[in-house]
Structure 1
Amino acid sequence: MRSRSLLLAAAVVVSSQGKDTNLELERLSSASTRYWRANQQSYIESVKTCVIGEGRPTPTTNKQGDPSAPCQWDCYRRASMLEPLVADILVNGVAGDFVEAGVYRGGISVVMAALLRGAGVLGDNTRRMWLADSFAGLPNDLYTKRFAQTDAGRQAGHSSAEISHMQKRQRMSRQWGKGGHFTGSLETVKRSFDRCLLPMGSDSARSTAGRGDRAAPSGEVGGVHYLVGFFADTLPKSQISQIALLRADSDIFASIYETLDALYPRLSVGGYVVFDDWKLLQARASID
């Protein structure tokens, strides 16, 4: 079944709810197939094609895809697995907004917006989206040490040395930190929205990908809001009241813990948390 493989990334969330993973994935797959109409699916596919660019839809390795595209690394699967979750939320009327904590270039954010737009519910009076990121790379090692000394850090159950060791093992700081190769600016994210989030009814996002790249990006989409800064500074005081879906994609222990500490209490019954970085040691330690 096509959707089954796309849902495997949600298995951690499903199993943590005490449900039978296989049955729940089958239920979500079936619900998604019934929910999305052909015109909606065509629109969503066009947006996914745009954010992937020239990258492979189903890569056989974790190598970087199209370096100029809004999304990298196994993007088709990561984007597609949101479809059944969004469908389930909308069918069951789960209250709340949609949040991505850790945005990079905005590729997955654009697809999430396309899902809500395709369903006709993206807007300040319906379903809002919140995109949280420093837009300047990951916090440095000093931030991690300071985090361990905060109340949240002490409750996390790992010392500063343990957290730093996990981070160094993954060599995160140099690649993802401020000025690193993988820093995604707010301008870059807004440009991704301009480039790929076309009006509903269009199926030619990829053909328009090159237009307007030299102009200052607008990135202004009704219902989409940006939270700029480190999570400890932005998430606790944000105007997010209820959350239907939270996608955590910030890689390091401190950032993921701060995300869950601030936002998990706002998750609605029946909502979902998607952990993009479960494969990383420090991410699993933070979630556990």
Structure 2
Amino acid sequence: MSFETIRQVKKFTMTSDERLFALINATRYILDKKIDGSFVECGVWKGGSMMSVAYTLVERQVTKRQLYLFDTFDGMSEPTDKDYDIFGSLAKKLLQKNKKQEKSSIWCYSPLEEVQQNLSQTKYPTENIIYVQGKVEETIPETLPNKIALLRLDTDWYESTKHELVHLFPKLVQGGVLIIDDYGHWQGCRKAVDEYFEQNNISILLNRIDYTGRIGIKV
């Protein structure tokens, strides 16, 4: 069913097939190993990645897990000078070159109502889908699950990624899965991840999914 799920969500995500496949496999792993906790995503755009999680859960007849979607639902937050891509281009300048409402823009703009409509296609119970609107630096840690089974970070920038790790990684349970979408592409994201694990003396193997995506299991 992986390829069918990818086909269903493809137009709702900029994520590669490899990263979607890894996310689907991670969801199955969590269910197979009976790892407790919610599924959390920071930076959702149109909701395609969490749709793939929801489809996989429905396929397994698991509908009581809570899905948390953190996003501004108004496009990207403001980057800093730490945020530049693998080619050295500053995120600030790239944002200035694009309009927020363009469908495939770097702005990743998608209003809340659109994301809710997209997630409804999965038939996952709406009462178990929690949308948290606003910058993660402002909404976290106000709204958090007690335990996290899967944590997917896709807000691109240094400040947001570091904030997410500080507050969310401690809630990721042992055996839980961490996915960093932009580790290879956005250098601010990479810096935030490397700093967090070094500063907290945490050992984790982040395996390469594709040129930018990384996945690891908390030990």
TM-score interval (norm. to shorter) = 0.7 to 0.9
- What secondary structure is seen at the aligned counterpart in 1 of 2:130? strand
User: How far apart in 1 are the matches of 2:31 and 2:122?
Assistant: 20
Tell me, yes or no, if structure 1 residue 117 matches structure 2 residue 58.
Answer: yes
> Is 1:97–1:245's contact at 8 Å kept on the other side of the alignment?
yes
- In the other structure, the counterpart of 2:132 is 227
How far residue 177 of structure 1 moved from its aligned partner, in angstroms, is 8.3
> Is 2:83–2:188's contact at 8 Å kept on the other side of the alignment?
no
- In the other structure, the counterpart of 1:287 is 193
* 1:145-164 equivalence runs, <5 A: 163=82
How far residue 174 of structure 1 moved from its aligned partner, in angstroms, is 3.0
Tell me, yes or no, if structure 1 residue 197 matches structure 2 residue 103.
Answer: no
User: How far apart in 1 are the matches of 2:15 and 2:58?
Assistant: 24
**Runs of 5+ consecutive residues of structure 2 not aligned to the other structure:** 195-219
How far residue 251 of structure 1 moved from its aligned partner, in angstroms, is 0.8
- What secondary structure is seen at the aligned counterpart in 2 of 1:222? helix
User: How far apart in 2 are the matches of 1:49 and 1:136?
Assistant: 26
> Is 1:140–1:177's contact at 8 Å kept on the other side of the alignment?
no
User: How far apart in 2 are the matches of 1:79 and 1:228?
Assistant: 24
Q: 1:165 to 1:114 in 2, by over 3 A?
A: closer
- In the other structure, the counterpart of 2:164 is 259
Tell me, yes or no, if structure 1 residue 89 matches structure 2 residue 47.
Answer: no
* 1:47-196 equivalence runs, <5 A: 47-52=5-10, 69-74=11-16, 76-123=17-64, 127-141=65-79, 144=80, 163=82, 169-170=90-91, 171-174=93-96, 179=101, 181=105, 182-194=108-120, 196=121
Instruction: Name whichever structure is richer in helix by fraction.
Output: 1
User: How far apart in 2 are the matches of 1:265 and 1:176?
Assistant: 36
Deviation per CA, 1:34-87: give whole Å up to 9, x if none. xxxxxxx3xx543321222xxxxxxxxxxxxxxxx212352x322211232122
Deviation per CA, 1:201-250: give whole Å up to 9, x if none. xxxxxxxxxxxxxxxxxxx7231110111101112011311100000011
User: How far apart in 2 are the matches of 1:47 and 1:198?
Assistant: 13
Letter aligned with residue 48 of structure 2: G
User: How far apart in 2 are the matches of 1:178 and 1:255?
Assistant: 19
User: How far apart in 2 are the matches of 1:176 and 1:96?
Assistant: 38
Tell me, yes or no, if structure 1 residue 270 matches structure 2 residue 196.
Answer: no
Aligned residues: 186
User: How far apart in 1 are the matches of 2:159 and 2:61?
Assistant: 35
> Is 2:83–2:189's contact at 8 Å kept on the other side of the alignment?
no
> Is 1:248–1:275's contact at 8 Å kept on the other side of the alignment?
yes
How far residue 107 of structure 1 moved from its aligned partner, in angstroms, is 0.7
> Is 2:68–2:132's contact at 8 Å kept on the other side of the alignment?
yes
> Is 1:102–1:248's contact at 8 Å kept on the other side of the alignment?
yes
In the superposition, the TM-score normalised over structure 1's length comes to 0.58
User: How far apart in 2 are the matches of 1:88 and 1:224?
Assistant: 21
User: How far apart in 1 are the matches of 2:109 and 2:12?
Assistant: 12
Identity of aligned residues (%): 26
**Runs of 5+ consecutive residues of structure 1 not aligned to the other structure:** 1-40, 53-68, 145-161, 200-219
In the superposition, the TM-score normalised over structure 2's length comes to 0.75
User: How far apart in 2 are the matches of 1:178 and 1:254?
Assistant: 20
Instruction: Name whichever structure is richer in strand by fraction.
Output: 2
